[in-house]
Amino acid sequence: MKDSVAGIDYRFSDRRLLEEALTHRSIGAGNYERLEFLGDSVLSMVISSRLFELHPEASEGDLTKMRARLVRGATLAELAGAIELGRAVMMDSAMMKSGGFRNTSILADTFEAMLGAIYLDGGLEACREVILTQFEPLIEAMPAVEQLKDPKTKLQEWLQARGRPLPLYALEFEEGAAHAKTFYVSCVLDDGTRAEAEGSSRSAAEQSAAARLLDGFREQGE
């Protein structure tokens, strides 16, 4: 077993921790789930502390939005993909054949598990250095807080500013294998205006539907 991960400037003293961090639950016991839990907490604390330092005038709500943008699954999966972490994950043949090593959820979970393993092996400061090395470019490129609001939040605020009720989201149907489902949802307003969208999760599909409605309002100059 190697003592490091390509693209991460850290060498493990206890290689068993790295092995556990790279073991998917399809293998059985001794998988990365406990380390993922720990890594998630350490990541949140380090990013929260860094944002607190960099934005002394930001409100609690603004800091929360910035942190959510940085530690969301999509961001973690992108970072994991950049260092090809998926190729190092050990999983059973069925999961491998189904493309599990490219699954964004697995990539994000493994990235957090790796951070948890580094924390146990080298302590908080070592883990902090790894986290900030990976995230500093993203922190520097962080857009204005207003731009961080997701489409559902923006749509809700747009409606509330006009005294209108919240939209109704409904799951129309879903299709595909359990590990690769596509969800189709609708978003309907009080005046009957509606938009439909699809996504790899119900939440993602709802965000896309809200975005389509907002795009329509902008085109109409509203």
Catalytic residue annotation: 40, 112
**Cα 181 to Cα 177: distance, rounded to the nearest angstrom:** 6
Single out the residue of 140, 90, 83, 70 nearest to residue 111, CA to CA: 83
Round to whole Å and give the CA distance between 53 and 11.
28
Instruction: Classify burial at 144, counting beta carbons within 10 Å of its beta carbon; exposed 0-12, middle 13-18, buried 19 or more.
Output: exposed
Which CA distances in Å does 182 have to 95, 122, 195?
Answer: 18, 40, 17
Residue with tokens 């509203």: 222
Alpha-carbon distances of 55 from 48, 63, 110, 132, 148, rounded to whole Å? 11, 8, 29, 16, 15
How far is it, in rounded angstroms, from Cα 185 to Cα 175? 12
